[in-house]
Structure 1
Amino acid sequence: MKISPSKLGLLGTLYFVQGMPYGFQAGALAAYARSHGMSLKAIGFLSALYLPWLLKPLWAPLVERYGSERIGARKSWILPMQAGIALACLTASFFPGRENILPLLGLVFLMNLFAATQDIAVDGLAVDLLHGEGLGWGNAVQVVGYKLGSLTGGGLLIWASEYIGWRGIFIAMAVLAAAGMAITLAAHEPPRAASGGAVRMEWREIFGRMKSAMLLPGAGWMLLFIGTYKLGESLSDALYKAFLVDSGFTLVQVGKWSGTWGTVASLSGSILGGLLATRIPLLGAVFVTATLRVFPLLGRWVLALAVPTQEAIIGVTLAEEFFGGALTTAMFAFMMSRVDRRIGAAHYTLLAGIELLGKMPAGPVAGILADDAGWSYAQVFLLGTVLSVAFLLLLIPLRQPRPPASPPATP
């Protein structure tokens, strides 16, 4: 089943707005902190600012249960969250400079809280809209939109900070979030019943369907699969930008290679992942992209063993972003194919929470290994590669056909 360009454009816009806070934190905050003397251990714990993304399954049932059908069950949550992102970004523009790092971190946390809550509703909207063949392209737009927001918040605006200043970065993000609100207001959201969802489902039914989905045969393997596919990559990512800074490269170079060029490569990979997801079985697309992802992770280890050249760093960085982007799209399409559409927002949010849970410990663990245990960058990068290879073994138990997560509704 195909999806209209207008719906794809709406999903892309919504994920773009959510991607900006992540892009700023992932593309600029760590390198900025390192350039001002923050320890690797402290940088590793900056990932705690993503806590709302990990905890969002706790309030996902609220988003599933409540919402205005007049405004739109999903839009009635999306609009105030977009307003919150815009307001937090605008407030952050008043706290430039190193001396205001703590208020800035608090505001980044708020941006993540609003973006994570919006993501629950947007994922539910995507589940409502995407079916069959639309899963591949829809999830490609999902990932591409998010990463374009990330590119803007963590690459383009940081690159432009030489002209617009630190304050200008957040003002621009606030304006873009407000523009997203305008597009959302103009969009029409179909009634949930028309897409297989349920309106005003009782709490007992929501939790009952969640429990049933988690007890399906093979559900444990699937959760382990989703929770570990990015573990090794995230462990490596946590110290990669610090490695570049410590290797003598400037913040501008790091932002350009990893935040800008790297995101463009990731976008291209995401499109490839979406194409694969429409051409071969979803699990096969995950296998191909996860296997290819191992090689650039191994390349990081090789870089850390020698004096890295600019050309080698660019090649490894772009390859890792490309194959990592392809894997993300394939995995998200696989996740969405296993969702019970009657509780789309809550169920997909739970799977997304498991996906994030697998990545969250990587930053602190990497920082502790480097600062407290004395591991070198090369050792951390090698561990990340080994974990990514080990993940491929989990494809074996998932090869057996599983019952669908969304059985026909009973009368």
Structure 2
Amino acid sequence: MPVSKCKGVYTSKAMQNDVRQGGPLTGRGSAAATNMSDCYPRRPLSSPTRELRNSGDMEIAMDRFNLLASRRGRLSAFFFLYVCEGLPLGFATVAVTSELRREGVGPAAIGAFIAALLVPWSLKWLGGPIVDGVRSRRFGHRRAWILGCQLAMVATLAALSRISVSAQIGMATAIFVVHNLFAALQDVAIDGLAVSSIPDEERGLANALMYVGMLCGQALGGPAVLFLVGQGAFSRGYLLVASAVLLIMALVVLPLREPDPAAAVRDVGVAEGQRDAWASVRNAALLTYQALTGSRGAFACLLFCLLPAGALSLNLSLKSVLAVELGFTPQQLAQLGFAGTLSAACGALAGGLLVQRVGTKQLIALSTLAASIPTLWLMWQLQAHGHIMPSPARQSASSDLGQALWVALIAYQFLASLMIGARFATFMDVTNPRVGATQFATYAALNNVGLAMSASWQGKLAEIWGYPTLLAADVAVGVLGLFVLPFVLRPSPDQIARSDAKEPMRTRMLAVGLALACLCWVPVHQLMDLEPAIRSLLSTPFTLAFTAASVLLLIRSAQDDKPPRQHIFRVTGLLLLLMHARPYLAASISISGFDPRYAPWTHRILDAIPIIAGVVLLAAGRANGYAWSRGLLRLFGRSAAR
């Protein structure tokens, strides 16, 4: 390689390669960068195009607009990136559904449309290993995924603008699912970029701004698009959302430069690009499992995510249910929802500013206890006015209870939102930056599962024992997370590099717990068939247990180097995924034309899968490691002596 006379500086062609590959010239304060002017002839340039005559100079010029290089730039970048995340959700759930109803589409079809759109978001954690494992040196790691997803989002919106959604709702739903699939992958990539680029002291405020950005994006994609489109052609709404995505991509994403991407690639130790992509994804998944179980703090965070973030009833459906029962008009409901959203945004911003002074865990505890006050006050007001059990809607709003609901909701939304930035900053603190997309997406998914479980039992409790009892129980359950919070500790550098000595014990605990859940399925399922209320309470926890058991077995199959054990783990893990198809089994049999008499036998076969999985997981959880495989293999008629 030809080298110039200037010490440590390459000639023009080599410098271009170094800049592209994250070499010495990309470092801050590099001697090569400061002495660059001494290594080229100083001749006048006739135009800006000639000044940026090669890609290396272009890279250096683009660094001036890199928002990740400064505190204010980072906060602004992630705010607008989350605006881009909120746009598709607000557009689909508000603007498109309103247009569908206006064109005569029924509520059932609209409900199925919304349910299909939410599927990619509920499964976005599966894209984490792909985002962490497959990398591009030229375009950056997470930046490449964000760019690709945003281009795909624009392409799908352009395709939707050419068809009539109401007349071709099947095709439109399929395109919208693809659109939201790329939006969910963008979310995973943005979270991974945030974990690796936001310093510790900025994470609380950054997560608060990201939450507010999501709210702004949903408002822009929903009500704002409806207002701008007016009574004109709705196809302009697709172009408006696509233009907003392109604007954010051009002004925010394109100038981004990730911190030291070359070192990150070497540190993770996975393949780059499309070559060996499967090995990259596999290694990223294994590293994520090590990150989740390799330290006490990361493992405790799994339980912390599942527990509710304080009292949640006023953040779920209770506020709307009470408002309807108290006689609120649709306009009053809209005003109540807008005021609550505005109060939540103000609370999140205030919490983001307080977290640096108070501390993340202290602010979470403060917000949890403070949000209990308006919840208990509303409980007292309902008890005092005799509004105990659910009742039909009134013709006019009760002035005292209506005012109490207003005050309680505004105060609750502000106080409960104080912890939003601190809570997600806690997730980031225990996340390994090398697999930040997958690990953070796992925590976020478990957080959503915790919300779903809270919503399931709260509705049943209100119907059985009334609203005051529900609010009291909500406060009692909401503080449980504070007992786990002290154990959510940041992993040490040694724990990030390799698991600590107690990692095998945590794996055994996880395996035994999931095994017991699988073995309990058959008797519990009998109760679920007899009592629908039990089904609504336990369906989500068992879905989580089956999914976690399947992932654990597939991870163990990738870790094991013995083919018999690999096959047992892999086959059992894949069979567990069939449990998710059990609710749709009867409909599938009727559609496919099979004899309905075979349906009971099919259900019995599916009921046997959790029992087999429980036995495999119990054996895998034994303390003596792989010695369990001999007895297990004998059950299948094989000899383990090889």
TM-score range relative to shorter protein: 0.7 to 0.9
Report if aligned partners of 1:72, 1:189 keep a CA contact under 8 Å in 2. yes
Amino acid at match of 1:138: A
Answer yes or no: is 1:283 the counterpart of 2:361: yes
Give the CA deviation at 1:94. Answer: 6.3
Deviates most, 120-129 or 235-244: 235-244
Answer whether contact 1:90 1:170 (CA < 8 A) is retained: yes
Q: Deviations over 1:44-88 (max 9, x none)?
A: 995664232221221211111112121111121111212233344
For 2:494 and 2:122, how far apart are their aligned partners in 1?
Answer: 28
Aligned to 2:449: 357
- The within-5 A match list for 1:86-165 is 86-92=154-160, 106=174, 108-158=176-226, 162=230
Q: Does 1:226 align with 2:305?
A: yes
Which moved further from structure 2: 53-62 or 19-28? 19-28
Q: Deviations over 1:352-386 (max 9, x none)?
A: 121222234566x489x58xx9949x957964763
Q: Deviations over 1:258-288 (max 9, x none)?
A: 2x44333222111122123211231111111
Q: TM-score, normalised by structure 2?
A: 0.53
Where does residue 391 of structure 1 map in the other structure? 478
* Structure 1 residues not aligned, in runs of 5+: none
Alpha-carbon separation, structure 1, partners of 2:323 and 2:497: 57
Question: Alpha carbons of 1:196 and 1:50: their partners in 2 closer, same or farther (altered >3 Å)?
Answer: same
1:16 counterpart = 2:96: no
Equivalent residues of 1:296, 1:319 under 8 A apart: yes
Letter in 2 for 1:127: V
The verdict on how the C-alpha distance between 1:167 and 1:227 changes in structure 2, with shifts beyond 3 A counting, is: farther
* Cα drift, residue 129 of structure 1: 1.0
CA distance in structure 1 between the aligned counterparts of 2:112 and 2:416, rounded to whole angstroms: 21
SS at match of 1:396: helix
Displacement after TM superposition at 1:116 (Å): 1.2
Q: Does 1:328 align with 2:415?
A: no
Query: Aligned runs of 1:232-243 on 2, under 5 Å?
Result: 233=312, 237-238=316-317, 240-241=319-320
Distance 2:235 2:468 in 1: 35
Residue 348 of structure 1: aligned partner: 440
- Residues 359 and 17 (structure 1 numbering): CA distance in 2 closer, same or farther, change over 3 Å? same
Tell me how far apart the structure 1 counterparts of residues 433 and 403 of structure 2 sit (CA, whole Å).
47
Alpha-carbon contact 1:338-1:405 (below 8 Å) kept:
no
Q: 1:106 to 1:208 in 2, by over 3 A?
A: closer
Greater CA drift, 310-319 or 25-34: 25-34
Q: Give SS of 1:268's match.
A: helix
Secondary structure in 2 matching 1:68:
coil
CA contact (8 A) 1:12 1:145 kept: yes
Which residue does 1:191 correspond to in 2? 260
Q: For residues 396 and 44 of structure 1, do their structure 2 counterparts lie closer, same or farther at Cα, with a shift above 3 Å needed?
A: farther
Contact 1:193/1:199 (8 A) holds in 2: no
**Alignment-mate amino acid for residue 229 of structure 1:** P
Contact between 1:282 and 1:333, CA under 8 Å: does it hold in 2? yes
The CA distance in 1 between the partners of 2:298 and 2:442, in whole Å, is 13
Aligned to 1:65: 133
Report Cα offsets for 1:332-354 as digits up to 9, x if no partner: 11111111112212211221121
Contact 1:121–1:345 (CA<8 Å) still a contact in 2? yes
Whole-angstrom CA distance in 2 between matches of 1:300 and 1:171: 45
Inter-partner Cα distance in structure 2 for 1:44 and 1:388: 34
| CA displacement at 1:126 relative to structure 2 | 0.5
Matched residues, number: 401
CA distance in structure 2 between the aligned counterparts of 1:164 and 1:97, rounded to whole angstroms: 15
Are 1:210 and 2:288 an aligned pair? Answer: yes
Could you tell which deviates more after superposition, 314-323 or 190-199?
Answer: 190-199
**1:34–1:242 Cα contact (<8 Å) kept:** no
Partner letter of residue 486 of structure 2? R
**Amino acid paired to 2:288:** M
User: Which has the higher relative contact order, 1 or 2, with Cα contacts under 8 A spaced 6 or more apart?
Assistant: 1
After alignment, is 2-11 or 121-130 more displaced?
Answer: 2-11
Distance in 2 separating the partners of 1:61 and 1:165:
41
Task: Tell whether the 8 Å contact from 2:311 to 2:372 is kept in structure 1 after alignment.
Answer: no
Deviations along 1:62-121, whole A, 9 cap, x unmatched? 111112121111121111212233344455556778777766655554443222100111
Return the match for 1:54 from 119, 122, 125. 122
CA–CA separation in structure 2 for the residues paired with 1:241 and 1:33: 23
Q: Residue type of the partner of 1:134? A: E
For structure 2, the 5+ residue unaligned runs are 1-68, 272-279, 388-393, 499-642
| Distance apart, 1:6 and its partner CA | 1.6
Classify 1:112/1:292 alpha carbon distance in 2 versus 1 (closer, same or farther; 3 Å): farther
Indicate the structure (1 or 2) with the bigger Cα radius of gyration.
2
User: Percent of counterpart pairs with the same letter?
Assistant: 25
Give the distance between the partners of 1:349 and 1:312, measured in 2 at CA.
Answer: 37
Q: How far has the Cα of 1:132 moved from its partner?
A: 2.0
In structure 1, distance between residues paired with 2:454 and 2:175: 23
Contact 1:31/1:245, CA 8 A, preserved across alignment: no
Residue 186 of structure 2 aligns to a residue in which SS? Answer: helix
Describe the superposition over 1:226-267 as per-residue Cα deviations: whole angstroms up to 9, x where unpaired. 1232596379524644665674522x5544542x44333222
- Tell me the C-alpha RMSD between the 2 structures: 4.3
Aligned partners of 1:226 and 1:351 also within 8 Å: yes
Separation (CA, whole Å) in 1 of partners of 2:75 and 2:308: 26
CA–CA separation in structure 1 for the residues paired with 2:305 and 2:285? 21
Which residue is 1:201 aligned to?
270
1:294 aligns with 2:386: no
Contact 1:24 1:150 in 2 (8 A): yes
Correspondence 1:262 to 2:340:
yes
Give 3-state SS (helix, strand or coil) of 2:132's partner. helix
Q: Secondary structure at the match of 2:371?
A: helix
Inter-CA distance 275–374: structure 2 relative to 1 (3 Å threshold): closer
**Residues 297 and 381, structure 1, Cα contact 8 Å, conserved in 2:** no
User: Structure 1 length normalisation: TM-score?
Assistant: 0.78
In 1, distance between residues paired with 2:170 and 2:314?
25
Residues 29 and 20 of structure 1, relative CA distance in 2, 3 Å threshold: same
